[in-house]
Amino acid sequence: MITKLRVGNFYSVGEEIELNFTKGGAKKEVGYFPYKKNEKISLINGFFGANASGKSNILGSMVGLIRMMYTVSSPQSISPQSFAGGVMLCHPNVHKNFKDKPTKLGIDFLFGDNYYIYDLEIKNGNDIIKESLYLITLNLKSAKPKEIFTRKGLGISFGPEYKEYKNYLDNINIQKYQTFVSHLINIGAKAMVDFVNHRDSFFLKIDGLDAMIPSQVAILNRALTLNSYTKDRKEEFLETTKGMMSCFDDSIDGLEVNTDNNAISIKVSHKNFSGSIDIMQESAGTRELFAYIYDILSAFKKGGIVIYDETNRFYHPDVELALLSIFKNEEFNAKNAQLFFASHNHETFDLLELDQAYIVEKMDSSSAVYKLSEIEDLKKRDNLKKKYRLGMLGGISDAVAFDHKLKQLL
Write out pLDDT tens, residues 15-26: 999 999 999 999
Query: What is the share, in percent, of the chain residues with pLDDT greater than 70?
Result: 93
User: Helix or strand or coil: residue 329?
Assistant: coil
> Are the beta carbons of 304 and 202 closer than 8 angstroms?
yes
Q: What are residue 151's phi and psi, to 5 degrees? A: -120, 140
pLDDT of residue 78: 43
pLDDT attached to residue 88: 64
Q: Where are the domains of the chain?
A: 2-201+303-408, 220-287
Given a cut of 90, is residue 273 above it in pLDDT? yes
Q: In the beta sheet, which residues pair with residue 219?
A: none
Give, for 111, the enclosing helix (H) or strand (E).
strand 103-111
What pLDDT is stored for residue 365 in this prediction? 83
What average pLDDT does range 39-61 have in this prediction? 95
Cβ contact 327:320 at 8 Å: no
Decide: 373 and 355 in contact? Cβ < 8 Å: yes
Report pTM.
Answer: 0.93
What DSSP line would sit under 123-141, residue for residue?
ETTTEEEEEEEEEEETTSS
Cα separation of 157 and 150, whole Å? 5
CATH architecture of 2-201+303-408: 3-Layer(aba) Sandwich (3.40)
